Structure 1
Amino acid sequence: MKITIFSLSLFWFFFGIGSTEEKRLLLNDPQQMQSEIHALQQEVEHFRVLAAEFQAQKQEMADLKQRFELLESSSKKYGSIYTRWGKHSCPKLNGTELVYEGTAGGSHYSEKGNGANTLCLPHDPELLPDHFPLSSNPLTSFGFGHIYGGEYEFSLKNMALNDDVPCAVCHVKMATSSMMIPAKQSCPTRWIKQYSGILTSNYYSYSKLEYLCVDEDPDFIERSRQDENGRLFYPVRGVCGSLSCPPYKNESMLSCVVCTM
């Protein structure tokens, strides 16, 4: 009796739209019933297959998430470093993060010694104590090198002449190389642009210093705008001759761009 009631309920659910005579015909037709039962079994098996596929995809997604987390964790140990001159911060790009910010420092524009490169000096230095035990050559006087802060020797947007030059050291997690390209504002194919700007150097008649790319929207360090000199940043102009014109133009200022891959 239970089986008959169950069968009637089941077929009423699936075939409740037809007439009473049609229902009786279906219930009294063993072949039709067998066909419908077989169809239901196929549907159930189909849903079982879908459920298994769903579980497999769910597991695959979990595996991919785990692999991504491992790669993200590993990427923090690698990557590429560059300095963004003229800014307090790094570009707002995916995978680029600030290591530290500071102020540009280097050799005085008129001194022949010291270091030739420019440094990004942190705002929170950990200085050596005054009594640090240094030894000197007994045959010569004890000497030192010097490092000075950097100043702009031009004005642009919110920055003015003699403002101190900030800098930011940036880490690009998903990169292995970085480069500065002079006289360009865009990067080669497959390279990512970090920032573009103005090519700078020391004044042409002063001591040699490296060429650096200052951001096209430069910041400045909040302080007095006194002319204290130090490591000076001048815009660079091209000079025709051994430098082909065109494509270069005589006395035109040069751009620059920093790219990573």
Structure 2
Amino acid sequence: MSLKNLETYKSHIEKYGFSVINKVFSDEEVGRIINVLDHIDTSRDNFRKSEDLFAIRQFLKEIPEIKDFIFNDNIKEVVKNIFGEKYFVVKSIYFDKPETSNWYVAYHQDLTISVDKKLELSGFGPWTTKQNQFAVQPPLNVLENIYTIRIHLDDTDESNGALKVIPTSHSKGIYRPETIDWTVETEEICNVEKGGIMLMKPLTLHGSNRTTNGKKRRVIHIEFSDMELPEVLQWAERMN
């Protein structure tokens, strides 16, 4: 199974801030990933559990045995041909939005990166620290350089929390959600098939609705960059 017309997806994400590619993973490959997820010990510190959401931060570090299943030939091709030869992983999270979830996400941009320590650095801030993990808002050029891949382990549409996005909002810098001008902006729902991926720029305004159809939505979220951070600051989850 190989991907065709990657140039089309590349130009779409550059122009609109997102793109959807289906059939990146076969049913068998998705099954292998789910099998690993079904057998993990969920009591660890980096796991967040509530009725509405189950999440694993630093996912690829926590579940290293899943890497070979995630980075199949298609994903490697996407990273190389759409992002660039030198891109590496800088962040990974697994989200499981259960069938009964009432959890919705208001429109926002992804404005922080995960780093290994807290430093006073010009252009970096504000900082947040959770469970000894450091997140910071970096200068705009760092955010503009990042690409996100969201791998969908379930069919996802408007009724079970597919992302809604505002096309081209990634090219407008820091864009506060309360200032969205709906007379000029439009909203698009990003339906993704099981085994498909959504590509996104972190500055693309995005959100999701509550689940109404009683179906699961499991997503693996991985961010990539090809930039080194200044001075002695490092990406917390750097992985080639």
State the structure with more CA Rg.
1
TM-score band by shorter chain is: under 0.3
TM superposition score normalised by structure 1: 0.20
TM superposition score normalised by structure 2: 0.21
Higher relative contact order (CA 8 A, sep 6+): 2
